[in-house]
Amino acid sequence: MSNEPLVYLNGEILEQVDARISPFNRGFMWGDGVYEVTPCFNGEPYRLEDHMERLFRSLRYIRIDPGLDRTKMTSETLRLVAANADRLASGVQYRLGHWVTRGGSPFAGAAEAEGPATVFMFLDLVDTAATARKHETGVRLSVTTTRRNPPECIETRAKITSKMNQLLAELDAGSRDSLSLMLDTDGNVAENSVANFFIVREGVVWTAPERNILEGVTRKVVFELCARLSIPLEERLFTMYDVAQADEMFITSSGICAMPVCAVDDFIPHHPVPGPITTQLIDAFTADTGFDFRDHA
């Protein structure tokens, strides 16, 4: 028996090698789909309901019927996790992926005529040691020439599989040995290609408003944790001028919780990494998830 986690494809739980999707699927041909990635700490999905809610918001936006309602999608997800109980390593983190495409097989079929949808779920082991090291040192970001798509073109809050905008930003920053920081078309700070971006100025956490960014689940958790810890937080437009004055900087996503940023190009935060508020948030995430990245360094 393989030790690789089992996958879910259109109602069946399969070995990875037995999962088959047509190359004419619209997800492959046109990037016609949506996705979600939920972290699993110690075998338990974290904030699964929040991720399911966002998945179905994205599905409604691009008009895909997955053939499952939200309750059934959640139960099928938990069925896959349970089926993998003897295959998942203990004390580590996994990514739980949901990919839903419009399906279909004709090369040039009209989108509204396609279906049924393809629903694929999987579990992927995370390199927690690498994440732990970055929690200690911070990550470096670089502002890219690729701007974040404005909502007038494609809604930034939807988690869609057509990610060329973010991929170009990632490649641009990667050529400078950095992660990306994208601006919007007006020059305001937006987000990293896979994570939301925050700064701290004079004890207040700042983050961009939802108009310019993905509606991050971990970002939502930061709002809750700041309220719990009595840390002021503001959603506001800000520019690289404000980044240059930042006391702390960090990014958030499901796989990293809160990750300190040690520099954005030549701008270095005033506080050593990780700063005091970032550390408070990392501690709060540890208490909330029951998983401490720092134990894996």
pLDDT tens sequence across 261-297 = 999 999 999 999 999 999 999 999 999 999 988 888 7
- What class is the 7-126 domain? alpha beta
What is the structure's pLDDT at 255?
A: 87
CA 34/CA 235 separation, integer angstroms = 26
The pair of three-digit structure tokens given for residue 61, joined into one six-digit string:
């936006």
Is the pTM here over 0.75, yes or no? yes
- pLDDT reading at 233 higher than 80: yes
CATH fold of 132-296, please? D-amino Acid Aminotransferase; Chain A, domain 2 (3.20.10)
Sign of CA dihedral 190, 266, 240, 139: positive
Strand (E) or helix (H) holding 257: strand 257-264
Range(s) within the chain of domains with CATH label 3.30.470.10:
7-126
Range(s) within the chain of domains with CATH label 3.20.10.10:
132-296
Q: In this structure, how many other beta carbons lie within 10 angstroms of the beta carbon of residue 113?
A: 9
More confident residue, 99 or 215: 99
